[in-house]
Structure 1
């Protein structure tokens, strides 16, 4: 008697899981995103192996304003783009594990500190306010990396065999 009941419960569980997956958007490994506050569209890499999101920035400096911590930085997006200086409240400092190839002989720091800000991001037809750390990604093909924590906010599935599936972001 227990065996058919267990099989029924397992089938119902699988059915509900598949039904939920049908409702989730499926994005590719690379997608166009929109930073609505800046009216800036840019390509992003969706990386489930990274925990956090990273935005390409240069000349990053933290400072205090009215008793709160802030960060000033220039977007490092597009080699021909005019540098844009932004100022945002600092949420916290993030500590990102460094890759073995990034650590010089005698360097004991296994983590690098990066300022973290909140930023609205539009992916497909969904707009989410996500946390992004700031680092110079100008040597990468994608100025924005969206990690697993932010991808959970978008409630999306990632198909690494696909690219640019969602078209131009539209979360008006």
Structure 2
């Protein structure tokens, strides 16, 4: 059975951390098989493209000046067709692992122009198969903050192994009831 931490906390009043909940689940006989803490999304931040100039040596590339909300603008070489001044999207700095393309970014030199990161598409963040362009967020998206928190992608997922003698735990309510019975906090009323 798979569920998110926030879904469990909708049914269980607790301030327990993800690790404490996973330990307790295993202690009450609900073996935790996998935990996706969404750490892969932590480095991505919301950024605004300040300018988008044509690359001097490539027709399909643009040189972007990107405001990450953390000091001086960053130069990024981008091939997305929707790259334009004013666009707000998800930015990955050099050193960031991009899961959708299985690459850790480094400072690159693309046809003679340095690039210090990338503006990301939905496919690069494994949100969807859309690779048509940069994620286009509303203009009022908070620059410099976590993209994962803004897009609600930071909710950890937990997968437990259910044995045949635990049918009550095939629902989130049943899992919350068992957690409450084990002293992890009161169960929320249905």
* TM-score (structure 1 length as normaliser): 0.33
Max Rg structure: 2
**TM-score (norm: length of structure 2):** 0.31
Return the structure number with greater strand share.
Answer: 1
